[in-house]
Amino acid sequence: MEKFIGQDIADVNMRKIFLTDNADAVVEKTYMKPYSASELQGKKEDLANVSIKIADIEQKKKAAIEGFKGELKPLHEEKNMLVDSIKAKAELVTEQCYRFTDQEDGITGFYNADGALIESRPATADEMQGNLFKINKKSDNKQSKIQAS
C-alpha cells in the first residue's frame, strides 16, 4: 500500500471528498496523529506555562502545609501526652516525697504529701545505720510498751 493518497490535491475539503468517493468504507478510528513543527512548539510553550503555574501553586501549598504543621504540632504532642496518661491511668509527677526506713524489717518506703505510700524497697546499708534521734525514739517506744503492759 502507498504511504500517502491524494497528496496532489491541495484543498483539504476536495481531498476529503476524493478519499470518501474512493474508499471501501468510512470508519471512526482512534490513532496518534503527529504534530507539525509549529504545533509541537506550541505544545512545548503550553507545557512550560502550565509547569510554572504548578510550581507557584506547589510553593503556596508547601507554605500553607508548614503553617498547618506548626499549628498541629503542639496539639499532637498534647494528644500523645493525654493518650499516654489514659493508658497508664496515672501521670508522671515530680514532687517532694518523704522517706521512712523501718529498721526492724529493713524496708524503706517513700510517701507523697498525701501520706500515700508510692514506693517501697529493701533498705540500703546507709539507710539502716540509725541516727541518735531514731535510736532514742526506739527506746521511748519500747519503754512506752513496757509501761503500757
Let me know if residue 76 belongs to a domain: no
Let me know if residue 70 belongs to a domain: no
Q: What per-residue string of b and e applies to 57-70 under the rule 16 or more CB within 10 Å gives b?
A: eeeeeeeeeeeeee
Domain of residue 118 covers 98-148
Q: Is the pLDDT of residue 136 over 80?
A: no
In the chain, how many domains are there?
A: 1
Query: Cell triple for residue 16?
Result: 476529503
Let me know if residue 118 belongs to a domain: yes
Let me know if residue 5 belongs to a domain: no
Let me know if residue 112 belongs to a domain: yes
Q: How much is the pLDDT for 55?
A: 98
Let me know if residue 138 belongs to a domain: yes
Model confidence pLDDT, tens digit, residues 75-107: 999 999 899 889 988 887 899 999 999 888 999
